[in-house]
């Protein structure tokens, strides 16, 4: 089992003044992640999985929480009580230097800059691990994700209801 990297545990103050703690996701987060998927609202699940969400199984939880922190890296954000409120991850694609990025934030924590913070931290991790670009595929009507990727300097292409964006990781992520 790969140990989580040092240097990613931090407390962050969001635009609205709330604090979250951020750290690398680990296998010990699997039960809470499973419950979050089971209890998430249908819109969140549709947007996150671009359709019907997967069935929560031990195999899925193993896949989502077994990370090498090189080609597969994820962060969890927790509120002051310790409850998980967001997860962001990247996963290497078949194209060298490119990773697909995904973020999900619980409804009460949206529009406070949390997704932007997590993508920036993932960008730092990705750059230091040899990645040059993030890609993301999402429903074209998912305005929050479109805005997030636009703010990150992403370029998007929309076709048949799906959008694909690419963000070049540059000095701003160091």
For the record, the structure tokens of 124 come out as 């730092």
**Block means of pLDDT (10 residues each) for the chain, length 174 residues?**
87 96 95 86 74 84 93 96 94 95 89 92 94 84 72 67 82 60
- pLDDT (tens digit, 9 = 90+) per residue, 20-55? 999 999 999 999 988 888 888 787 777 777 677 778
The model's pTM is 0.86
C-alpha count within 13 angstroms, C-beta hemisphere, residue 96? 0
Residue carrying the six token digits 């103050």: 13
Report domain extents, the chain. Answer: 10-96+104-132
Q: Which residues contact 133 (CB under 8 A, 6 or more apart)?
A: 97, 98, 99, 166, 167, 168, 169
Query: What would be the CATH architecture of the domain defined by 10-96+104-132?
Result: 3-Layer(aba) Sandwich (3.40)
């Amino acid at each position: 089992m790969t140990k989580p990297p040092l240097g990613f545990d931090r407390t962050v103050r969001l635009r609205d003044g709330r604090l979250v703690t951020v750290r690398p996701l680990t296998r010990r987060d699997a039960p809470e992640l499973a419950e979050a998927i089971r209890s998430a609202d249908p819109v969140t699940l549709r947007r996150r999985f671009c359709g019907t969400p997967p069935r929560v199984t031990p195999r899925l939880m193993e896949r989502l929480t077994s990370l090498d922190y090189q080609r597969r890296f994820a962060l969890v954000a927790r509120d002051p009580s310790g409850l998980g409120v967001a997860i962001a991850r990247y996963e290497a694609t078949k194209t060298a230097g490119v990773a697909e990025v995904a973020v999900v934030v619980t409804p009460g924590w949206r529009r406070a800059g949390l997704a932007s913070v997590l993508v920036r931290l993932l960008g730092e991790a990705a750059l230091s691990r040899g990645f040059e670009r993030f890609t993301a595929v999402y429903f074209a009507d998912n305005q929050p994700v479109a805005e997030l990727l636009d703010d990150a300097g992403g370029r998007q292409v929309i076709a048949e209801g799906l959008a694909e964006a690419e963000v070049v990781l540059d000095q701003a992520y160091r």
